[in-house]
Amino acid sequence: MTSLSDVPMASSSTAAAEATVPIMLTTTLDEYAIPSGPYMVPVSWRRTHLSTLVNKLVASSSSGLTTVPFDFIIDSTLLRSSLGEFLESSGLTAESTLAIEYVRSTLPPTRLAAFEHDDWVASVDCTRNALYMTAGFDGSVRVFEPTDAQNAVHTFSTVNKAAVQGGRNTALTKAKWTPQGEIVTGGMDGGVQMWSVQQEDGWRSARKWGGTAHNAPVADVDVAQGPAGVSVLSAGWDGIVALWDDVASTTTAGNNDDDDDSDDGAKRRKTASGAAKSTRGARTAGTKEPTMVLWHAAPAAHAATGAKNVFTSASRVSSVLFERTPAGRDSNRAWSAGYNGLKGWDLSSGGTLHTSLSMPTSTAETRPITALAQLGPTALVAGATDRAMQIFDIRTDATTAALGVAITNAHRGAVDALSAHPTSTVMFASASSADSHVKVWDTRSSRKPLFVLGTAGAEGVLALDWSNDGQQLVAGGKDKRITVYRGTNIGV
């Protein structure tokens, strides 16, 4: 057993007589690794004492490293009390050896600014450096620069006259940047649209194409760079997941060369029947048909009228995403989540369903999933209507995704928004439309959030996103604004 007498620590006759507890210290930070122990330390020690111990042990075995504060995780819980208080609350004695993991401590982000909107904020996207893009319930897309919280540098409306005259709901539910700097939107009217955006000589935007594969509101969209263009996923309340391929085409409306097998730059995917389907642009200017339509929830027939393809409350798909790999988003693998569980799709083979899961101890319909995010290449985190969150292992060598960490009572209501940290595989943020708090979590310490951030208003939060460097977190919702929080060394 390692003696602390070899480490220059403060001592006194009182400390010498105090009860001690053996601890084992481990870390994934190679540069700050120390012999694991065990070490005998006083039960009165808190995080600051343990942090001092680790830094002195690191300094005694290496040079050139600066002193940094550490947090300590015991049994999936951040140590926020003395070791003695932890032992008592856990029903343990001082004879128990505590396995403790130490990680770099992170200070809570501070509220930086609030950007006002005219209506509820449905989504926010911060993937373009130094820009915040939002989609609003007023049907408008807004782009802000961090230096001006009062005025958007660009605003455009997605509402068209036909939708207004037809009495359709023109609210937006999602807007995402594409890798080429274009924008994809989804709305309550069931439409998916792509917009060309130019910044040279002033901001300009124009509708590139629109498509309707859903007969209910679009809940979510995601984008990925494919080998021949941008791929778009959309998910709707009608149980449909649609794939759209934005591939440049040289084919004109008068050129009927559909039997030509040459690719001429257009990527082909196999449909569920095994036939190759071209992803060339639609024949009608400004419109596009989906490359593939998948049923997350099987279509049902109306019990009274016999009408087919009727969507029910269990049909709703709440989230969709392209699977992230170390090389980026994979345009051939996707995940969808909703009121009918969690499903994984192989898009390269016609939309084959390779995984079907639900929240633990339930059928899919009893614990509907309302939000989804991916933590690195091996895990998904899902939020549900019962205020809980669940982490799933999605490693490809597993026949079924193993159930991982469960977080109960995460919010006052359904978990409506999740956003994974862009550089850390263990950190993510969550929010609910039922409360005004944003919570940041570390999967290694899942019993309590790392931080609880309050928004300026008392309304619910509908949207979350991190900046590319992971040092800014942006939240938007019913208070008709986005709130920006900024920190340092988050996820480091």
pLDDT value of position 280 = 41
pLDDT value of position 388 = 92
pTM of structure: 0.83
Please tell me the distance from the alpha carbon of residue 411 to that of residue 449, in angstroms, as a whole number: 11
For residue 300, the 8-state DSSP code is: B
**3-class SS of residue 218:** strand
CA atoms lying within 13 Å on the CB side of residue 369 = 32
Please tell me the distance from the alpha carbon of residue 115 to that of residue 476, in angstroms, as a whole number: 9
pLDDT one digit per residue (tens) for the chain, 492 residues: 555 545 545 444 444 468 999 999 999 888 999 988 899 999 999 999 999 999 999 988 877 788 899 999 998 889 999 999 999 999 999 999 999 999 999 888 999 989 999 999 999 999 998 899 999 999 999 999 998 988 999 999 999 877 776 778 899 999 999 999 999 999 999 999 999 999 888 899 999 999 999 989 999 999 999 888 999 999 999 999 999 999 765 333 344 343 444 343 334 455 544 444 444 433 445 889 999 999 998 876 666 666 666 667 788 999 999 999 888 899 999 999 999 899 999 999 989 998 888 887 755 567 899 999 999 888 999 999 999 999 998 875 444 455 577 898 999 999 999 999 999 999 999 999 998 889 999 998 888 899 999 865 557 899 999 999 999 999 999 999 999 999 988 887
Q: 110-486 in CATH: which number?
A: 2.130.10.10
DSSP string of 140-208, one letter each residue: EEEEE-TT-SSS-SEEEE---HHHHHTT----EEEEEE-TTS-EEEEETTSEEEEEEEE-TTS-EEEEE
pLDDT value of position 340 = 87
Closest by CA to 113, choosing from 153, 79, 65, 146, is 146
pLDDT value of position 360 = 79
Q: 4-104 in CATH: which number?
A: 3.10.20.90
Q: What are the extents of the domains in the chain?
A: 4-104, 110-486
Pairing of strands 77-78, 70-74: antiparallel
pLDDT value of position 389 = 94
The C-alpha R_g of the chain, in whole angstroms, comes to 26
Judged on CB neighbours under 10 Å (0-12, 13-18, 19+), 307 is exposed
* Paired residues of 21 in beta bridges: 41
Please tell me the distance from the alpha carbon of residue 89 to that of residue 84, in angstroms, as a whole number: 9
Closest by CA to 246, choosing from 217, 214, 277, 289, is 289
216 neighbors 238 (Cβ within 8 angstroms): yes
Torsion of CA 385, 390, 394, 399, to 10 degrees: -90
Please tell me the distance from the alpha carbon of residue 73 to that of residue 102, in angstroms, as a whole number: 6
